[in-house]
Amino acid sequence: MALCAPLLGIRYQLQGTENISSTPSIYLAKHQSAWETIGLQLWTPPAVFVLKRELLRIPFFGWALWGLRMIWIDRSAGKAALAKIVTQGEQRLADGLSIIIFPEGTRVAPGQMGKFKAGGAHLASRTGAPVIPVAHNAGELWPRNAFLKKPGTITVRFGPAIDPAGLSENELNTRVETWIREAMRELPPAIRA
């Protein structure tokens, strides 16, 4: 991330940093680009991602990821993938690690929202860990699958923690999706350099 500003002209501004928890939490974040997979690790307490297993097949990058304590899932495995998220998620939280999940499951272009999948809400319901929603506009400067990046300033907003107690998984997922959708409307466009 330190090289993004001098090499690419990409800077960032953070909003809602008071909502970043010092205790292990589940961060459910908007997914637009590869940028946030790097950035979110800088601002959250020690954290791991829930990632699709296919990433392990990418030469060098996937091999490097293999040695980390990420939670790897086969997205086609359905209930088995959910069970793995809970089993490994409980262990990571117990070890003092936060968990970052992209509930849309894949990168979604700026201005669009994908269907929120149940994994993050399911994990929060099973563990009682607080959920912190995260919105950002990184895709405007670092588009999906684009070689060229645009210089400017990305805004990242952390929302207030949502306690999963007393909420169904569907209610929790809806609250997170609603917060992210509203935050995305409120965020200023990425500031071009």
Using one digit for the tens of pLDDT, what is the confidence trace for 108-131?
999 999 999 989 999 999 999 999
pLDDT at residue 5, rounded to an integer: 66
pLDDT at 90 over 90: yes
pLDDT in tens, 37-50: 888 888 888 998 88
pLDDT at 7 over 70: no
Question: Which pLDDT band holds residue 55 (cuts at 50, 70, 90)?
Answer: low
pLDDT at residue 3, rounded to an integer: 60
**In the predicted model, what is the mean pLDDT of the chain?**
87
Q: Which residue has the higher pLDDT, 148 or 2?
A: 148
- Alpha carbons 81 and 91: distance in angstroms, whole number: 15
- In the DSSP assignment, the letter for residue 16 is -
pLDDT at residue 182, rounded to an integer: 97
* pLDDT average, residue stretch 85-98: 93
Q: Which residue has the higher pLDDT, 75 or 16?
A: 16
Percent of residues, the chain, with pLDDT higher than 90: 54
What does the block give as tokens for 156?
């990242």
Domain ranges of the chain: 4-192
pLDDT at 28 over 90: yes
When mean pLDDT is compared across 148-152, 163-167, 171-175, the lowest value belongs to 148-152
Q: Give the CATH H-level superfamily of domain 4-192.
A: Glycerol-3-phosphate (1)-acyltransferase (3.40.1130.10)
pLDDT at residue 100, rounded to an integer: 93
Q: What angle do CA 77, 81, 109 make, to 5 degrees?
A: 85
β-strands 26-29, 47-52: how paired?
Answer: unpaired
pLDDT at residue 156, rounded to an integer: 96
pLDDT at 53 over 70: no
pLDDT at residue 49, rounded to an integer: 84
Residue 159: burial class (beta carbons within 10 Å; 0-12, 13-18, 19+): buried
* pLDDT average, residue stretch 4-18: 83
